[in-house]
Amino acid sequence: MIRRFLTALTLALLPLGAFAQTCGTTDLIETLTPQERARLDSLVAPHAFPLGNLWRAEKDGSSVVVAGTLHVPDARLNTLAERINPFLREADLLILEATSQDEAGLAAMAASRPELFFITEGPTLIDLLTDEEWTKAEEQLAALGIPAFVAAQFQPWYMNLTLAIPPCALALVQTGAKGLDRQLEDVALEQEIPISSLDDVETVIRIFADAPFEDQMDGLRLTLNTTDDGNANTSTLIEAYFDGRTREGWEFGRIMVDRAGIENGQELFDEVNTSLLVERNQDWEPLIHQMVEGKDAVIAVGAAHLSGETGVLRALERAGYSVEPF
């Protein structure tokens, strides 16, 4: 979801050009060496519910459909939406990470708190990065249609996550195409079904903005060294998603970090994993228990949030639900 947030914010704040790219069907996981494949398997194995994007949880006559979402638009999402929509139309509640209204507040937040997003005094990223690093940043910014002189004043965390947005995804968003969560939200609004969100936008942004400046710079350097082909990285995640290899798609990031050869890369990945998945999942669990109690509901959150001991599916099991594929 944070990439969706940053895509929305980037579109709101920057004059972007037109794109004609698609995310394609490349799957870099197919290029793994036997050693990398074994490592990936070992990373996935410990996690509960590593496979699958659609689940149904039941308790005392109430049903909850859980959808792992893909925030990048893709025509194949229509089939998933069609499977969920009949249940959603009869449900009491739709639960999302964040609603479209939440996302719309990002631009206003950037206007009222520019220091969170932009370097307002002192050296810019041109001065803080090496010549080689800035050249690489310029190349990736050009692919996104973002003027480098504007991005030079981004806070490192904001530059980092902006560069993590693949050009193909940004292009698809510009066409008006929607991910699964927004398709479900449209149905809920049409049917006047209540919608609740699990995240507070400012809280999520502060996960990054409040990090020490040097940690932000380390994260930016990691992104610069692992996003040479952002479209291929994204299409790899997309193909894993539609195959139901949800945990594999997330853990593949560790392999990419290994390939980049960055000394503290795995430590940085662990920090992202903790802040974006583990801690947010833990914050969500009591909210989910409260929201779904005694109701028929649909929960639609990023697919990486489903698996693992802190994942949404385990949270429902701990609340007494039986969980099975939908």
In this prediction, residues 225-253 reach a mean pLDDT of 85
Task: Give me the pLDDT at residue 289, please.
Answer: 97
Span 119-164, pLDDT tens digits = 999 999 999 999 999 999 999 899 888 999 999 999 999 998 888 7
Q: Which helix (H) or strand (E) holds 113?
A: none
3 state DSSP class of 25 = coil
Inform me whether the pLDDT recorded for 223 exceeds 80. Answer: yes
Span 258-276, pLDDT tens digits = 887 777 888 888 988 998 8
- Tally of domains within the chain: 1
Tokens standing for residue 320: 């007494």
First to last CA, the chain: 23
Question: 199: domain range?
Answer: 2-325
Residue type, 249: G
Q: pLDDT: is 217 or 11 the higher one?
A: 217
Span 62-83, pLDDT tens digits = 999 999 998 778 888 999 999 9
290 CB neighbour count, 10 Å cutoff: 10
In Å, how far are 49, 74, 126, 128, 265 from 217, measured between CA atoms?
34, 32, 12, 9, 12
Span 74-112, pLDDT tens digits = 888 999 999 999 999 999 999 999 898 887 777 778 888
In this prediction, residues 285-291 reach a mean pLDDT of 97
161 CB neighbour count, 10 Å cutoff: 22
In this prediction, residues 187-194 reach a mean pLDDT of 97
pTM above threshold 0.85: yes
